[in-house]
Amino acid sequence: MYLIDMFNKKTKMPEPGQALPGREEAIPTAETHFVNGTALKGNVPEGLEVAYFGMGCFWGAERLFWQTPGVWSTAVGYQGGTTPNPTYQETVTGLTGHVEIVRVTYDPAKVGYGQLLKIFFEEHDPTQGMRQGNDIGTTYRSAIYTTSDEQLAEAKAAASAYQQALKEAGHGGRVTTEIKPADTFYFAEDYHQQYLAKNPGGYCGLRGTGVSCPGADTAQA
């Protein structure tokens, strides 16, 4: 029964009063990007935009985006729940409500939001609910958190288009991606930032459905 209870806690969002309390102070993290040297925190440079994606374990997902031309910087953290300034150990209990998220800062003149959505939908399985492959729990759910009304509309349209593509491909799955305006993003610990650049042989659990995402633009002029 203990194992069943632990599984249920990890795959159900915490009820009011169940969430861990967290803390007022931010968790220490890196100051600069390990790969390209850009600042992880601070103001977003003029002309750039920010997007947030949850695709399961954030190690492999972050690498996808920092390797994408037009992406200026990436960072990993926790978002979408209630616990302020959570630690990694707290998020994996399922009692923070947070998702492992990649924060993508990009130049929309070089890579469009639609292209980032295409990467998102094709490079993981958005039909698995509170899991991604062998990674099980609310922290691994598929999520898109948006920073503008335009992003929100485009993300919802892309999810609908991908659902239709899955149906036409005979996949049978239902897109479970959580799409909503972004709330506070809490940076993850230093060792998680650009983890696969520091540990090239490290774990990457990304597995797509094999179905292409239609209608994504590669850039916005």
Catalytic residues: 57
Distances (CA, A) of 183 to 80, 83, 144, 194: 7, 12, 11, 22
Comparing CA positions, the residue from 122, 160, 142 lying closest to residue 52 is 142
20, 86 Cβ separation under 8 angstroms: yes
Pairwise CA distance, residues 102 & 63, whole Å: 9
Torsions phi, psi for 87 (to 5 deg):
-95, 165
Pairwise CA distance, residues 123 & 204, whole Å: 12
Residue with tokens 């954030």: 58
